[in-house]
Structure 1
Amino acid sequence: MTRVRHRATAGAHSVRFVYTNIAGGSVGPNPITVKAAFEYSLGAIVPVFFNGSRTGVCAPGGILVSDPIPVELADNDLFYSRNLVTVGSAGEKWPLGPYISTSVGDGTAATDLVDSGAITGGNATYAFGPSAIVGSKVGAATAVLLLGDSILQGLGDGSSEPTTDAGWGARALNNEYGYVNVALAGEEASQFQPGNARRLSRLPLARYCTHAIVNHGINDVKADSTTAQIQQRLTNIWTALANMGLKVYQSTLTPVTTGTFTTEAGQTKQTQAREDVRIAVNTWIRSTPAPLTGFLEAADAVETARNSGIWKANYTTDGTHPSATGAAAIATAVAPLPF
């Protein structure tokens, strides 16, 4: 049982909650059953139905979409989803979702408190919740798919709440645009190719979006992929999204170093062969190859100079992921977003 805070980035009605049964980018091991309610920030609770029933079953790898909820939201309204997930027997699993802290939610009660009651405890943990919340917009609206690895997922950016969610992508959106973050730690572009289970389980969420920000690539560099291989993989990803009608933006690839990160002199670049590939891929991204709509300059925001391969002091804490300072710098550099 969880209660998770959300923000409306556009006026909307006929809101729907979207749940997925995806674990680590792959299909879940068993069906899950979901019961839910919508809670206004002032406390009124509205029940959610699935095909006219209070509960819905989501098969492994499936997407469960609620019936339209009879609520109205204005731009920038805060509201909550109240979510109960159950499985059929002991030992079965449900997927974890957003990281909730005191500012963004409550959980994890072991009883059904969907329609009433306070949900306490369980903060500072990963919890089950909607993968997306969609609705009929009032006026123009933009929704962004964040697709990539742990950098876009937000790893390393530990101090952004409650202003924004973690990661430079969410920071750059700055509560002005709706988004679905399907970035996954450790993922390479090679793992989001046609036929791959990771792609099959998450690409359908792009249907709710108008734009995409992709940051795939640096894990492929670290795996010693060639420039040509990375170019082909990224092009496949961009094409899939563009064919779904999204405007696609790719970020340049940030550095990888070892050593100490409080100074620039304390860092050692990755092997020259890998660095040569990163530089070549970044040069190619900056040429805006088809079908990209544009690119976002992440690397220049955190490197000591273009192609130096060294992070600015304190812009990372591990040599791979931007710190809160680094994430904020990238978000500032790419603003205003070209949406």
Structure 2
Amino acid sequence: MNDSAHRTLFHPFETGDIAPPASGARALFLGAVPDFRLPEGFAAELAAVQGYRPHFLGLQRRGIPATPTIEDSGYDLSLVLLGRHKGENFRRLAGALRATRAGGLVLVAGGKADGVDSFRRKVAKALPLAGSLSKYHGVAFWLQRPDDTGLAVSGLADPPAPSLVDGRFATAPGMFSHDRIDAGSRLLVDNLPKLKGHVADFGAGWGYLSAELLRRGDELAALDLYEADFPSLEAAKQNLSAWAGGVPLAFHWRDLRSEPVPRRHDAVVMNPPFHEGRAAEPAIGADFVRAASQALKPGGRLYLVANRGLPYDKVLEAGFAASGETCRDARFKVLWARR
């Protein structure tokens, strides 16, 4: 997402193209980020929706009421901040249309580099736009919520995504590797020893690694999934329901970089993220490794996969008694460590 997109979103209020909502009005903010600033005169009661845990926590620290999903309807105004994934953006706009009262305003903004121009053109084919402007390398456009939201939402429908990844995993655009099993995760699964005891999946996504542990029949006493993206965690719950058997499962919506893990584990598996937005940030994966070190029992094992060029060796040496490399291919390496 363009870091300036939230400024673009509120620019129509600053130019006077849209009057700021008065006291007593209710506004919904989908995709809210912690660093937004309301324009002068914006007096509506604001409800933020943010499923990415670090941003959710940032909103909470500012005292802004936030939930991971839309929990009410009848809003006078809905603000929609777009991201990079077209399918996710259409669903976000559809949610805003359903949550806004008839005749209410829906204001949308995104970065030009993230495809907001093509998104606006497609929306304009289905719904009449009331206005549009460009600012801060982004575009904002707005429309009135029509009486028939069903017709409006159907007009926005994108070509359907594949029903299930590998014939068994429900996913959605915006999730990591939503249209295929990630090659790195598959390499990790193919080279994991049999695990037993209390096991954790860090950055579990929609549940592939955990599902494979359950499918293999490892001697698991319990399996805990930790994931920062709320929709992905909800998908994991669905995807693991058929495989759990007698293994107790726990699903934790958590930012592993800032929130502690509530229990100690015998093993941790992970394919840690190393991007936030477009930029590569190896520090994210390094923080996951440190979190795993703190979450493991003495003698516990960490198994992870990473891009070959990512420098995790020093952080593994600092946090573990022993570590090494299991294998590598042209793109990835599988690493292990013992607490």
TM-score, normalised by the number of residues in structure 1: 0.25
Query: RCO greater where, 1 or 2, for CA within 8 Å and sep 6 or more?
Result: 1
Between Structure 1 and Structure 2, the one with more helix by share is 2
Question: Which structure is larger by alpha-carbon Rg, 1 or 2?
Answer: 2
Q: TM-score, normalised by structure 2?
A: 0.25
